Structure 1
Amino acid sequence: MFKDIILAITPSEICECAADKAFAFAQRFESKLYLVHICGIEHGWGSMEHLEASGETARIKDKIMAYYGDKLEGIKDYEVIVRAGIPHNEILRLVRQKNADLVVMGPHTKKYVEERSRMWGMAGSTLERVSQRCPCPVMIVTRQAPYGEQVFNKVLVATDFSDPAECAVNYGAQMARHYKSELVVFHAMDQEELPQEEVEQRVEAAKNRMSVEYGPRLAGISASSFECWEGKASTEILKTARIHKADLIIMAHHTREVDPEKAVLGSTVVQVALNSSAPTMSVNKHFDLRCGLMYDQTGEATEAGSAAAPAES
C-alpha cells in the first residue's frame, strides 16, 4: 500500500512511536523506507560539505543505525539520509525527490512530554509546516501502539466541507476499502448561542449535506456513517474518535485559514494529533493509494495505478 515512506527522526526515544509505526508499515508492505535526519540550527546552518568533511554526517548515520539497528533487520530496503538545512524544507524536498507516498513524523523535542499541547501550537514548528505543505499524506504518531499491528478497523475522517477536506474524505474512503474498515465521516459545527431546535436542524442539515456530497465516494465500503456535533473542532473530533474507538483519524490541514503564517498558530490537526491515542493523518491534496483496487462512484472496482497522483497546488 505504501511504496516509499519517509520517516523524519532524531535517534532518540522522543521519536520511538513514529519510528515503530514506520518500521511496521515498511515490513508489512515491503516499502522502501528513508530514515531522514536534518541537521539544522544546532550545526550553525553549516553546509553539507562541511558536515561531510568533518565526519559529522557519518557519525550521525552511525548513531541512527546503532539506535534502530535491531528493528531495521526485518526491513529489506531502507536508506539513512542526513542533510543540513531548514528541517521542513529538506523533508518536503525529499518527498518530491523520492516521490514518497507517506511521511511519518512524531515530536522532535525533549520538551514534548511537558509542553506538548502548547509548544506544537508555536509558529514555525517542523511538524506544523510539513503537514501543512506536504503533497502526500503525513501521519503524525505520538502514542505507542502494539508493534507490528497495522490493522485499521475504524477510520474517522473529519470534514469542514472545504476542497482539502474533500481530498481527506476520498483518501479515507480508499483506506477503508483497503482495510475493509468501518468509516465515520464527521463534521464539527461551530458552537453558537442558538435555540436547541435550531441547533438540531443545523446538525441534520450537515448530515444530509455529507450524505449528498460524500455518499457516492463511499461506494464499496461495507459500513459507513455521517455524524455532526457542535463545539470546538479538535475537542469534538477527539470525543468522536474515542466513542467509536477509531484506529486512525484523517483530516485536512488548515482548510479555512488563508494566511499560512497565521495558520501555523495552533492548528486543529496538530491539536488532535497530540492528544489522540490513534495516529492522525493529514491529507491536503488528492492522493491515491498505490496498490489494491480502486472504486468509481458506481462502486465498480478497478485496478489502482502504479503511482499516486497528487494534485497541483
Structure 2
Amino acid sequence: MKTLKMKRVMIALDYDPTAQKVAEIGFTLAAAMKAEVILMHVITDIIYYSSVAYSPIMGYTGMMAMNQVKKDSAGSLMNASNHFLDKIKDHLGDKDIKTVVQEGDFAESIINTAKKQNADIIVMGSHSKKWLENILMGSVTEKVLQESIVPLFIVPTKKR
C-alpha cells in the first residue's frame, strides 16, 4: 500500500482566544510530517467585526488593542489580520511559515485557499457554540467538513 506524503498543512485561524492552541497543535502536526505550514485568516463583512458579539484582535493575548483598529476600514482589518498572523508565526518560531489573509465567506475562503495553496490537510478549531447560534449563523467547521475535498483536522476548543 502506498502512503501519501503530506507536504502542506494549512492552519485556519480566527481571532478567538483559542487560536494559539489551534496554531500550536497544527504546527506540531506539520513538524511531525516535515510539512510546510500555511497560516490563514478570513476577513468577512466589516459589520461583523463591529458587532457586540465579536471581539476581534484581542483573541490572541497581548497582540493588539481593539482601539488600534478602525472597524470601518477594510485596510485596517487587513493590516490587523496580517499583524495577527505574523505574531503567531513569531510565536511558533519558524520564519518559513507562509501567511495568507482572504476576504469573503469563512468556509468558502478556507476551502478555496486550501485548493490554491495545494494544502494536503486543513487544521482548524471548533468552538462548539450554542445550538441557536449554529442555526442562525451556521458552523464554519461543519461547512468546511461537508464541502472540502481536502482532509480536515479539527481541534476541539470548547472550554470545560
TM norm structure 1:
0.37
Partner Cα distance (1:5, 1:137) in 2? 10
Equivalent residue, structure 1, for 2:156:
142
Name the SS for the 1:80 alignment partner: strand
Identity %: 20
The alpha-carbon distance between structure 1 residues 69 and 76, as it changes in their structure 2 partners (threshold 3 A), is closer
Equivalent residue, structure 2, for 1:19:
23
Aligned 1:203-218 pairs, distance under 5 A:
none
Superposed CA deviations along residues 129-179 of structure 1, whole A, max 9, x for unmatched, are: 001111011111115xxxxxxxxxxxxxxxxxxxxxxxxxxxxxxxxxxxx
Equivalent residue, structure 2, for 1:118:
131
Name the SS for the 1:77 alignment partner: coil
Equivalent residue, structure 1, for 2:60:
none
Give ranges in structure 1 of 5+ residues lacking alignment.
45-49, 144-273, 276-313
Partner Cα distance (2:19, 2:132) in 1? 16
Larger radius of gyration: 1
TM norm structure 2:
0.68
Which stretches of structure 1, 4 residues or longer, exceed 4 Å deviation after superposition?
none
Equivalent residue, structure 2, for 1:31:
35
**Among candidates 4, 7, 15, match of residue 3 of structure 1:** 7
Tell me if structure 1 keeps the 8 A contact 2:122–2:150.
yes
Tell me if structure 1 keeps the 8 A contact 2:89–2:97.
no
Name the SS for the 1:2 alignment partner: coil
The alpha-carbon distance between structure 1 residues 59 and 15, as it changes in their structure 2 partners (threshold 3 A), is closer
Partner Cα distance (1:68, 1:77) in 2? 9
The alpha-carbon distance between structure 1 residues 120 and 29, as it changes in their structure 2 partners (threshold 3 A), is farther
Q: CA deviation at 1:29?
A: 2.3
Aligned 1:142-221 pairs, distance under 5 A:
142=156
Give ranges in structure 2 of 5+ residues lacking alignment.
49-72
Equivalent residue, structure 1, for 2:112:
93
CA RMSD of aligned residues (A): 2.8
Equivalent residue, structure 2, for 1:78:
97
Q: Of the two structures, which has the highest relative contact order with CA contacts closer than 8 Å and spacing of 6 or more?
A: 2
The count of corresponding residues between Structure 1 and Structure 2 is 131
Q: CA deviation at 1:17?
A: 2.8
